[in-house]
Amino acid sequence: MPDITLTTLQSLKQSGEKIAMLTSYDATFAHAASQAGVDVILVGDSLGMVLQGHDSTLPVTTAEMAYHVASVKRGNQGALIVADLPFMAYATTEQTMSNAASLMQAGAHMVKLEGALWLAEPIRLLAERGIPVCAHLGLTPQAVNVLGGYKVQGRQEAQARQMRADAMALEQAGAAMLLLECVPSELATEITQAVNIPVIGIGAGGGTDGQVLVVHDMLGLSLTGRAPKFVKNFMVGQNSIQGALTAYVRAVKDQSFPAAEHGFSA
C-alpha cells in the first residue's frame, strides 16, 4: 500500500489542504517527486508527447504505459500512483477490464479515463471489481481530433451545465476522483463544491482540491519552446530539480500556485 490512499485524499479534500499531483514516467523522477512531498504521481499518456516526441497522445499503447508504471513503482516513496488508460484502450468492456488489469498489476493504484457521461458504465464496472477510477473531463487530449485542437472547454453555458451534470453522474457511478483540464476557473470551483470526491485541476484555477502539471512543463523543458498559459516554470529561482519539485509542492499547498494568470475565464 502507498502512504497516500484514497482515504488520505478524501480527508485532504475535507480539511481544505490542497493535493499536489505531478506526472512522472520513470523511477528517478518518481523518487524525486515523492521525496518532495507530491501526494499523487500521474503516469500520464502525455509521455507520448514529452518522452516519445509525438504531436498527440494517440500513439501510446497500454504496453508502453505498463512499462512506465512499473518503472515509477520502483522509485516511488509512498505517493498514490494513477495511470492513464491510453487512447482506445477502454473502447469495449473487454478491453477496459484487461487493460486496466495490466496497469494495476504493473503498480498503479488507480486508473484515469478521459471522456464524459459515457464513462459511467466503465467506471461502475471497474469500481465494482476493485479498481479506483479518476474521470478526466474538460479538455480530453485523446479526443483532440473531435475537439478541433487543445482548447478550453465549458465556456458556453450549455457545455458548462453538461459538464456539471456529467461530474455528478460519474461520482454516482463510482468515480474516486475527477480531473478537470482547461476549464474556466469559476466552473471548476462549482464542480469541486458540487461533488464529494477530490477534484484535481490543470488550467482550472485555484478552486479545485488539488493541482497537476506535466513535470517537463514545470521544469521549463519543451520541444516546441511554448508553454501553455496554465504552466509555471518552477526552476526559476532554484538550482536543482529537487528544489523545483519541492517549490511546486509548497506552492500548491500554500495556494500561491495557480495564480489568477494561470486560469481561464468563461
Residues annotated within the binding site for 3-methyl-2-oxobutanoate are 45-46, 84, 112
Report the alpha-carbon distance of residue 173 to residue 125 in Å, rounded: 9
DSSP 61: -
The DSSP string of 36-74 is TT-SEEEE-TTHHHHTT--SSSTT--HHHHHHHHHHHHH
- Strands of 115-253 (E only): list them: 133-138, 177-181, 199-202, 210-213
Contact between 212 and ligand KIV by CB under 6 A: the answer reads yes
Strands 199-202 and 133-138: unpaired
Give the three cell numbers for residue 21.
499531483
Stretch near ligand KIV under the rule CB under 6 A, chosen from 24-32, 41-49, 118-126, 236-244? 41-49
H or E element in which residue 162 lies: helix 157-173
Report 134-153 residues binding ligand KIV (CB under 6 A).
Answer: none
Contact between 62 and ligand KIV by CB under 6 A: the answer reads no
Report 167-206 residues binding ligand KIV (CB under 6 A).
Answer: 179, 181, 202
The residues near 148 (Cβ < 8 Å, ≥ 6 apart) are none
Report 6-25 residues binding ligand KIV (CB under 6 A).
Answer: 23
How many residues in the shown chain lie near ligand KIV by CB under 6 A? 11
Catalytic residues: 181
Report 75-104 residues binding ligand KIV (CB under 6 A).
Answer: 84
Stretch near ligand KIV under the rule CB under 6 A, chosen from 42-50, 70-78, 170-178, 223-231? 42-50
Among positions 4, 42, 173, 199, the unique one binding ligand KIV when judged by CB under 6 A: 42
Among positions 19, 22, 32, 45, the unique one binding ligand KIV when judged by CB under 6 A: 45
In contact, 212 and 225? CB cutoff 8 Å: no
- Give contact residues for ligand KIV (rule: CB under 6 A): 23, 42, 44-46, 84, 179, 181, 202, 212, 214
